[in-house]
Structure 1
Amino acid sequence: MVLDIWKKISKKQVDPVYLMFGTETFLINETKQLLVDNVLDEEEKDFNFSVYDLEETPIEAALEDAETFPFMGEKRLVILQNPVFLTSEKSKGKVEHNLAKLEEYLSQPAPYSIVVFAAPYEKLDERKKVTKELKRKATVIEAKKLSEQETKAWVKERAAANGAEIDNDAIELLLTLAGTNLFMLTSEIDKLALYAGENQPISREIVDRLTSRSLEQNIFSLVDKVVHRNVESALRIYYDLLKQNEEPIKILAVITGQFRLIYQVKELARKGYGQQQIAGVLKIHPFRVKLAAGQAGAFSDEELTRIMKLLADADYQMKTGGMKKEMLIEMILFQINGRK
């Protein structure tokens, strides 16, 4: 849905009122920037672009701006941030809003203005009249985590915006190595497109060679080596992390988090949950669920229980100084691998 709206905005097909809500900050910021870039010329921004914080400014004052004719241009863009009156939360400020004025504006929006409500909240209060009216009259963008297919489509479009192509195998590897954080992916795609240039697609080989690995993704690779009973490769990744000055206690915490995720995914799948449902319950990206589900098949319930106990014991010893920290993780990797 959000990708379709972005395409329309990019073609300068804009609507008079937008409502963006959700906790995926990247989607909110990207939509704002798209509107700024496609609604206003550079010289118009000083005159026809306004941003209001509704925890500090009454809604009626912001709407007066929206009802003012644009100066030296055809459109006015007004962004209204933190409309807490759409939620069940109490405002941190002491601003009183004349919501009747908002309802009046929604019944007949100014044809020369684009008004954007940016609500960085997980949920809106659907019981409120003003929320119902705004959702009915506005173009709604739910800023939630993209599904796996949406993320892959977005990667393709981001690469295309940089004048590059990227194939499906390369996208799969990019998400495995760089994760699904859209801010991080933007940086990686822009770098890969710059390297590939216009003469060659972004291939799996280019992704493998140039993509920066986060600690979490390195740990995923480490666990994947353990899954395939390749403890030597797992140790190589671990030693590389130590050379990068990663703390053993932090490495252990991320390893524990990955095995906890594998355990949770396995348990929820047994209860009949699909990958999308599991992602919702655990509040993580569906692609991470897919990867964890692939790893879960390599371990029995008994093995996972044993591994979680090993990791808990290692954490206790690391915090009480029972053994050298670096050695503890080496031992854990051998024990997980089933060796003495």
Structure 2
Amino acid sequence: MAKQELTCDDILKELRAKQYRPIYYLMGEESYYIDLIADYITDNVLSETEKEFNLSVVYGADIDVATIINAAKRYPMMSEYQVVIVKEAQAVRNMEELTYYLQKPLNSTILVICHKHGTLDRRKKLAAEVDKIGVLFESKKIKETQLPAFITSYMKRKGLDVEPKAAAMLADFVGTDLSRLTGELEKLIITLPSGQKRITPEQIEQNIGISKDYNNFELRNALVEKDVLKANKIIKYFEENPKTNPIQMTLSLLFSFYSNLMLAYYAPDRSEPGIANMLGLRTPWQARDYVAAMRKYSGVKTMQVVGEIRYADAKSKGVGNSSMSDADILRELVFKILH
């Protein structure tokens, strides 16, 4: 039976219970979860006094595997544990040699390897050794469709509610960079009036500068509803505010939505729960827009729309286009989607 992989929440739960492993190999494309776990270990395993002698933070570009092993083999001073954090570990050459240390690690050392923008080859011995005695955690990029749920969950842990439209606006504006997204959420928390426990679209508009009526989320809604007037008003607003509404962000969101709409047509169950399950959405309400869009767009039309978005993306990058502005490209695309 395959060993079940621990999630970030599983790892943090263990750490809060003071259940420590000899090694945490944190890897993957999403830096946010790697930093979250490493920072928790850095901040909480040792007291401030213990950190003075027992916390080592090194960077991959400045060291080799021998340096890591030597640091890990040291015994703690006046403490039960020592913590060794290796940041930017993807720059360390011959990391496979760490296997020799892991065959007989010190139980008093907590070694944290932060390997960003890539992963360890799971077929090699090092991955097997890490998995045997410690934590091998892959931090994967979150999907755009999962962002509203991430925002809602993050704020819930802070004791706050987020209106669905507000969560969608933020997801649309920031995208899948979780470090930036959580930074924006923390800014929102600071600006909330005393006693207020709910984030509204108005707060997003006032404090982050996203128009609650003219943004990619509202453009997508206008296209789902086939509201020609509203869609063109939004494009006009985008044309007048190009810096806050770059065409690449708009095309990325539209491509994601209509690509998922294509997948929704293959769902055995086309109810909201069925489509949510097909698309990997956390809650059925996130599938409502897809259900609504399926009433307006046939499968064939959706396929054509995906092709038109690709074509518009190429034109926005200068392929086959020498004169059209971004606003004109978007205006032409919206016309083709709606007709």
Change (3 A) 1:225 1:115: same
- Residue in 2 that maps onto 1:62: 68
Q: Provide Cα deviations, 1:200-258, integer angstroms capped at 9, x if missing partner.
A: 212335555445549xx93343132122122332233323323333499x51x444444
Change (3 A) 1:92 1:130: closer
TM-aligned CA distance change 1:44 to 1:218, over 3 Å: farther
Give 1:33's aligned amino acid: D
1:260 has 2:255 as partner: yes
Contact 1:174 1:207 in 2 (8 A): no
2:161 is aligned with 1:166: yes
Hey, which bits of structure 1, 4+ residues long, moved more than 6 A?
147-151
Compute the RMSD of aligned alpha carbons.
4.2
Matched ranges for 1:1-340 at <5 A: 1-10=7-16, 12-53=18-59, 57-71=63-77, 73-81=79-87, 93=93, 97=97, 99-105=99-105, 109-111=106-108, 113-120=109-116, 122-145=118-141, 152=149, 155-157=152-154, 160-161=157-158, 164-166=159-161, 169=164, 172-173=167-168, 176-178=171-173, 179-196=175-192, 199-205=195-201, 207-209=203-205, 210-213=207-210, 218-246=215-243, 251=247, 253-272=248-267, 293-294=290-291, 296-297=293-294, 298-307=296-305, 312=311, 316=315, 320-322=321-323, 326-338=327-339
Cα distance, 1:50 vs. partner? 1.7
Match of 1:87 in 2: none
Give yes or no for contact 1:21–1:119 (8 Å, CA) kept in 2: yes
Question: Matches of 1:118 and 1:125 in 2, distance apart?
Answer: 15
* TM-score, length of structure 1 as denominator length: 0.72
| Runs (5+) with no aligned partner, structure 2 | 1-6, 269-274
- Structure 1 residue runs of 5 or longer lacking an equivalent are 85-90, 280-284
- The verdict on how the C-alpha distance between 1:265 and 1:202 changes in structure 2, with shifts beyond 3 A counting, is same
Residues 121-151 of structure 1 show CA distances to partners (whole Å, capped at 9, x for unaligned) of 6543333233212101103333124587897
Q: How many residues align?
A: 316
Q: Which amino acid aligns with 1:75?
A: Y
Give the aligned residue type for 1:76.
Answer: Q
Cα deviation, 1:278-309, whole Å, max 9, x if unaligned, reads 57xxxxx989x958745752322343355456
SS in 1 for 2:103: helix
Q: 1:19 deviation in Å?
A: 2.2
TM-score normalized by the length of structure 2 = 0.72
